[in-house]
Amino acid sequence: MSMWGGRFQGLTASEFRTFNDSLRFDYKLAPFELQCCLAWIEVLHDKAVLNANELEVLQQGLEGLASDIQANPELPLATGAEDIHGWVEEELERRLGVVARKLHTGRSRNDLVATDLRLYALDASQQVGTVLLAVVEALLAFAERYEHQVMPGYTHLQRAQPVLVAHWALAYVEMLERDFQRLQQARERMSQCPLGSGALAGSGIEIKRTELAKSLGFAGACRNSLDAVSDRDFVVDLLYTASLTMIHLSRLSEDVIFYASGEAGFFTVSDRVASGSSLMPQKKNPDVFELIRGKTGRLIGHLNAMMVNLKGLPLAYNKDLQEDKEGFFDAMNEWQQCLSILAYVLPEVSVNGQKAQRAAKLGYSNATDLADYLVDRGIAFRDAHEISGRLVLKAIEKGVPLESLSVDEMQTECEQIDVDVFAALSLQASLARRNVYGGTAPSQVAEALRQAKMRFRGERAGLAHVRQARLSDVPAIAELIRYWAAEGEHLPRKPEDIMQAIHTFAVAEYEGRVVGCGALYVYGTGLAEIRSLGLYPDFTGQGLGAELVEFSLEQARQLGILRVIVLTRRPKFFVRLGFTVADKATWPEKVMKDCEYCPRKHACDETGLELWLGKKQKTVAADRILLAELPNLAL
C-alpha cells in the first residue's frame, strides 16, 4: 500500500523505490512515530473523527506495535514499506482493519517526520548529556586524585611553565561544561512541536496544537507551519555541539597520547585499556584515545554535510531533507560512544609523579620566575626579560639548570641578584606565584576544584529530574507547601503568592508528576535563601532533595550570588551538601523578616547555615554545633 498512490496509474519502478525509500534507516524513529500516533488519535477523537470504540481499538493496536518494537527494534525492516510512516499504517491495517486508514487524517508525513526527529533528538541528547557529565565527573576525580602533582605546561609543544595536573584536568572540565551548556540550550530550542502544521500550511482540522505539544512532552508548539516542517536547525545545533565536543575530546586525547609516550612518560595508560603490536612485542598503544581523535573528523563531516544540504533549500519541505537522518543518527551514536568510553578509561590513566615533577623542572621553565624576581627589585620587565634570557643562555652553555648557576655568575648580568633568588626559582615558588584567579597556584586550583564540583552537581540535577517551575506547576507547588505547612515545616503560602514568585521556584518531577519543590529567594542585601524545600515522603531518600538544592545553587551561581543561606530544622542534610553552620545574628535583619509569621518565633529551633559560591570573604565558625548532634533528614 502506498501513502500517495491515488494520483498515479503506473507502477513504481523498483530502481526508483530502492533509491527513494528510507525505511532502511528511518525505522529508528518507530518509537517516536508511535508516540506521535497515540497523541494524534486523541486529537482525532476530540474532533469526532474517531468514535470511542475506534479510539480504543487504535490505542490497543499502537500500544501492541510499541511493545513489538521494544522487543525487536528492527521489526519494520522485514517489510517492503517505503518509510516508517507507511510501515505503521500498513501494519495497523493488517492487524486492525480499515479503522487504521483514519489515522493519517489531518496530518502530513512532513509535520510527522519533523516531530519524530525532534523527539528522537530530545531523547538522544538527554542520553548524551548524561555521559558528557560522566566525563566531567571522571575529570574531577582525576583532578582530585592528582591535585598537588606538578607537571610541565606547554606552549608550541615546548616546556613553558610548571602547572598542577589538576589545573590541566580542570581546563578540560571548562571546555566540557561549555559543551553541556550548548547541549542544554539546543534542547530548549528544539522543544517546540511541529505536529499539526500539515504539509506546509497547517492542519485542516482545528486542533489545539499547544495542548498536543504538551502531551508529547514539548515546551510548546512551532509558531509557523512553513518553518515547522522544513526546520532542521536543531539537527545542526546538535551536530555542531557534537563536533565541538569531539574537538575537545580530541585535544584531550592528543595530550594523553603525548604524555603517555616514551618521550614524555608523565602518564601511564593501564593494560586494561591499551593494545599491543602484532609485530613489535614492546609496544603499548593508546588506541582508545587515537580512535576518539580519529572519529572527530567523522562527526565534523556530518555537520558539514548537513549544512550544505540546507543551504539552498526553498520553503517548505523538500526530499533533500531525507538526507538529514543517516549522518545525524551516526553522529549521535558516535558522540555518545566516545563520551562513554572516555568516562570509562580516564580512571585507568595514572600519573608518574616523579617523572612529571622532574620534567617540570627542565627546559628552563623558571626563567619567567627569574624575570619576575628582578621586577620585584624595581627592574623594568623588558630589561628583566633580557637579563633572564642571557642567564638561560649561560646555563645552556654550561649544560646546567638555571638554579645551578652561582650567585656570582648571575651577578655578572645583574648585581641586584642575591642568594634569595634560589627560593624564587623553586618549583613550589613558581606555582605559588601564580596566585591569581584562574591561575595554577595550589590555593587557586583547590578553590577552582571546589567550585567545579558544585557546578557539576547543579548540572547533573538539571539534567535529571529537576527543572525551572512553570505557571502550570502552581497548583502542585501549593499542594506540596500545604502538606509541609500542616507538618509544621513550612510557612503557608497562597497560590497567588506562589504564582507571583514562580520564577524563583524549581520542581522535581518523577514520571511526569511534580513530587518536590524549592525556591531561591534573593534579598536586597545580595544574599539568597533556599526556602520552601520539600518532597512528598514517598520520594525521600532518592537524591531528589539534593538535586533541588544543587539546581538552586546553580541558579544562584548564574546570577553572580556569592552566598546562599538556609534556615532549617534538618541541618544535617545541608551539611552533607557543603553548607556550614552560621551565626544567624550576623545576617541582615531583613533576612529574618519571615520569622514574624512563624508560630515558633519565640522558641526558634531552626539552624542557620550558609554556603559560599564564590571565594569566602570571611571564615565561618562551624564548630558551634557538633555535626554528631544534628538530626537526620531523608530528603
From the CA atom positions of the chain, what is the Rg in Å?
Answer: 31
pLDDT of residue 488: 82
Nearest C-alpha neighbor of 635 from the set 452, 466, 455: 466
* pLDDT score recorded for residue 13: 74
Distance of CA 7 to the CA centre of its chain: 49
Binned at pLDDT 50, 70 and 90, residue 539 comes out as confident
The pLDDT value given to residue 388? 95
Mean pLDDT of 66-93: 95
Where is 160: in which H helix or E strand? strand 158-164
Q: Among candidates 258, 328, 332, which has minimal Cα distance to 293?
A: 258
Task: Give yes or no for a contact between 137 and 343, defined as CB atoms under 8 angstroms apart.
Answer: yes
Q: How confident is the model at residue 385 (pLDDT cuts 50, 70, 90)?
A: very high
CA 16 to chain centre: 43
pTM for this predicted structure? 0.84
pLDDT band at 627 (very low <50, low <70, confident <90, very high): very low
Report the alpha-carbon distance of residue 66 to residue 400 in Å, rounded: 73
pLDDT band at residue 553 under the 50/70/90 scheme: very high
**C-alpha cell belonging to residue 68:** 513489538
CA distance 445 to 101: 65
Cell of 567: 534556615
pLDDT value at position 371? 95
Look at 193-197, 255-259, 391-395, 596-600 and tell me which has the smallest mean pLDDT: 596-600
Cα 305 to Cα 124, 298, 308, 324, 427, distances in angstroms: 20, 11, 5, 9, 49
Q: For residue 557, what is the enclosing H or E element?
A: helix 544-559
306: Cα separation from own chain's centroid: 24
Using the predicted structure, report yes or no on whether residue 45 has a pLDDT greater than 90: yes
- Note the pLDDT of residue 9: 58
For residue 453, give the nearest of 90, 144, 157 by alpha carbon.
Answer: 144
**pLDDT at residue 634 tops 80:** no
504539509: which residue's cell?
199
pLDDT tier at 626, thresholds 50, 70, 90? very low
Residue closest to 593 by CA, chosen among 527, 549, 498, 537: 527
- Residue at 358: amino acid letter: R
Residue 516 is predicted with a pLDDT of: 94
pLDDT value, residue 464 = 74
Q: In the predicted model, what is the mean pLDDT of residues 588-601?
A: 57
For the segment 59-78, what is each residue's pLDDT rounded down to a tens digit?
Answer: 999 999 999 999 999 999 99
- Banded model confidence at residue 400, pLDDT cuts 50, 70, 90: very high
pLDDT score recorded for residue 600: 54
Kindly indicate the confidence band of residue 630, based on its pLDDT and cuts at 50, 70 and 90. Answer: very low
- The CATH number for 110-358, chosen from 1.20.200.10, 1.10.287.110, 3.40.50.1820, 2.40.50.140, is 1.20.200.10
Cell numbers at 387, concatenated: 637579563
Residue 581 has pLDDT above 80, yes or no: yes
* Mean pLDDT, residues 114-125: 98
Of 14, 156, 278, 406, the active-site residue reads 156
Check pLDDT > 90 for residue 240: yes
Q: Which pLDDT belongs to residue 633?
A: 42
DSSP 269-305: E-GGG-B--SS-TT--B-HHHHHHHHHHHHHHHHHHH
The C-alpha cell 555542531 sits at 240
Residues with Cβ within 8 Å of 457's Cβ and at least 6 positions away in sequence, in order, are 546, 550, 553
Of the candidate ranges 36-45, 243-252, 590-599, the one whose mean pLDDT is the lowest: 590-599
Residue 622 has pLDDT above 60, yes or no: no
Q: What's the pLDDT score for residue 282?
A: 78
| 590 pLDDT above the threshold of 70 | no
Asked whether the predicted pLDDT for residue 245 surpasses 90, the reply is yes
Position with higher pLDDT, 587 vs 370: 370
Residues 445-456: tens digit of each pLDDT: 999 999 999 899
Rounded to whole angstroms, the Cα distance separating 107 from 465 reads 33
Q: Is 277 a catalytic residue?
A: yes
CB-based burial label for 459 (10 Å; 0-12, 13-18, 19+): buried
Residue 628 pLDDT grade (very low, low, confident, very high; cuts 50, 70, 90): very low
Task: Look at residue 631 in the predicted model and tell me its pLDDT.
Answer: 41
> With 50 as the cut, is the pLDDT of residue 618 above it?
no
End-to-end CA distance of the chain: give it in Å, rounded. 56
508, pLDDT greater than 70 = yes
Could you tell me how many helices (H) and strands (E) the chain has, helices first?
23, 13
Indicate if the pLDDT at residue 444 is higher than 80.
Answer: yes
Cα separation, 196 vs 121, whole angstroms: 19
Q: What angle do CA 18, 21, 23 make, to 5 degrees?
A: 120
Indicate the domain borders of the chain.
5-105, 110-358, 464-629
* Catalytic residue of the set 270, 275, 277, 472: 277
Starting from the edge strand earliest in sequence, which strands make up the sheet with 513-522, in order?
A: 466-468, 505-510, 513-522, 528-535, 563-568, 607-612, 580-581
User: How far apart, in whole angstroms, are the C-alpha atoms of residue 108 and residue 114?
Assistant: 10
pLDDT higher for 458 or 625?
Answer: 458
Contact 407, 419 (CB under 8 A): yes
Q: How many CA within 13 A on the CB side of residue 362?
A: 11
Cis geometry, peptide bond prior to residue 585 (ω within 30 degrees of 0): no
Element (H, E) at 158: strand 158-164
Provide φ and ψ at 312, rounded to 5°: -120, 15
Give the homologous superfamily in CATH for domain 464-629: Gcn5-related N-acetyltransferase (GNAT) (3.40.630.30)
* Winning range, highest mean pLDDT, from 75-79, 241-245, 430-434, 557-561: 241-245
17 confidence band (pLDDT: 50, 70, 90)? confident
Q: pLDDT confidence of 491, banded at 50, 70, 90?
A: confident
Cell readout for 616 is 569566602
- The answer to whether residue 147 scores a pLDDT higher than 70 is yes
Q: Is the pLDDT of residue 599 over 60?
A: no
Compute φ and ψ for 268, nearest 5 degrees.
-130, 130
Per DSSP, what are the bridge partners of residue 367?
A: none
The answer, yes or no, to whether residue 558 has pLDDT greater than 90, is: no
Mean pLDDT of the chain: 90
The set of cell numbers assigned to 343 is 568516562
Residue 495: count of CB within 10 angstroms of its CB: 14
Q: What is the spatial distance between Cα 324 and Cα 63, in angstroms, rounded to a whole number?
A: 28
Q: Report the CATH superfamily, name and number, of domain 5-105.
A: Fumarase/aspartase (N-terminal domain) (1.10.275.10)
Give long-range contacts, CB 8 A cutoff, 24+ apart: 145-149. Answer: 146/351, 146/353, 147/442, 147/445, 147/446, 147/449, 148/442, 149/351, 149/353, 149/356, 149/357
Check pLDDT > 70 for residue 377. yes
Which residues touch 173 (CB under 8 Å, ≥6 apart)? Answer: 136, 139, 140, 143, 452
User: Has 156 been annotated as catalytic?
Assistant: yes
**Per-residue model confidence (pLDDT) at position 2:** 60
pLDDT exceeding 90 applies to what percent of the chain?
Answer: 76
pLDDT bracket for residue 419 (50, 70, 90)? very high
